[in-house]
Amino acid sequence: MITVSARSRQLLKRFLAGTFRATRGIHGGRRENSTVILNYHSVHPVHESATKPDDFTKQMEYMAGNFKIISLHDLCEMRASKIDILGKFAMITFDDGYEDNYEYAFPIIKRLGISATVFVTTGFVNGEVDIAARDIIYGGLESLKWDQILEMRAAGVQFGAHTHTHPILTEISLKDAEDEIVRSKDILENKLHEPIRTFAYPLGQRRTFNPSTARILYDHGFELACSTVWGCDNRRTAMFGLHRVRIDSVDTIRDFKEKVEGNWDFVGLVQRLKR
């Protein structure tokens, strides 16, 4: 059951979203030259912290009808081309690598022909660490299996690295951070037989990455890294500090539309004030 505090926070955010929308005027919404990266973790019918499959279906149908859904690899190529981004573009991402990404999200993504990226904590998949048990928000969820990952990849889902054991990279030594990053990349490349080009920082707030961690990623062949800093992205956004918009289990379809259209971007302002 969703806690009272979670519901109260959501009500407050809805109020603030209305105020923020009013300041943007009647023609608010994502600018035509920006991209939005959605951040999911779990899609599950009963887990209280997960987006429900029916809700996920409605959300993806809305995205397919109102945005051009591209992959993170497409974004790399668009940015490298230095051609202006024209239109409303969106990317779908999942963090950690929960089995329900395969069981419930994958069939919906496949049916709608949507691109998506799953950022995998390789030690979780290998059974070396149980990040779901460590994180009470997603407690009880199982990890993806390698055969499921291979099936998803064969169907077009992309995979990125999310470290091996999910540490906060700025709270360990640079050597250990490099080991975590490289180990996850190597394992994924050995399993998938292709270069791993994308990364997501564990936790992903500003205190969890810095120029030194970005440099490690660049030196080892990554082309971009996603944070969980809220907001859309444009050509001025650093490729190793891309913003995302988090989707939560308490989101109604109206909340979802408001988020992806930019009316919850005040969350990014709050995050900056909390630094």
Residue 52, beta-bridge partner list: none
More confident residue, 272 or 122: 122
C-alpha to C-alpha distance for 198 and 211, rounded to whole angstroms: 17
What the block records as the tokens of 120 is 């995998």
C-alpha to C-alpha distance for 173 and 209, rounded to whole angstroms: 12
pLDDT of residue 27: 44
Q: What is the pLDDT of residues 14-46, one digit of tens each?
A: 656 555 555 655 445 555 678 999 999 999 999
Residue type, 99: E
Q: What is the pLDDT of residues 131-160, one digit of tens each?
A: 988 878 999 999 999 999 999 999 999 999
Q: What is the mean pLDDT of the chain?
A: 90
C-alpha to C-alpha distance for 35 and 88, rounded to whole angstroms: 6
C-alpha to C-alpha distance for 33 and 172, rounded to whole angstroms: 37
Q: Which fold has domain 4-273?
A: TIM Barrel (3.20.20)
**pTM for the whole thing?**
0.91
Q: Calculate the CA 225 to chain-centre distance.
A: 10
pLDDT of residue 254: 96
More confident residue, 13 or 262: 262
Domain locations in the chain as residue ranges: 4-273
pLDDT of residue 266: 87
Q: What is the pLDDT of residues 175-199, one digit of tens each?
A: 999 999 999 999 999 999 999 999 9
Q: How far is CA 71 from CA 77, 93, 160, 166, 245, in A?
A: 10, 9, 12, 24, 16
pLDDT of residue 21: 56
Q: Over 70: is that where the pLDDT of 217 sits?
A: yes
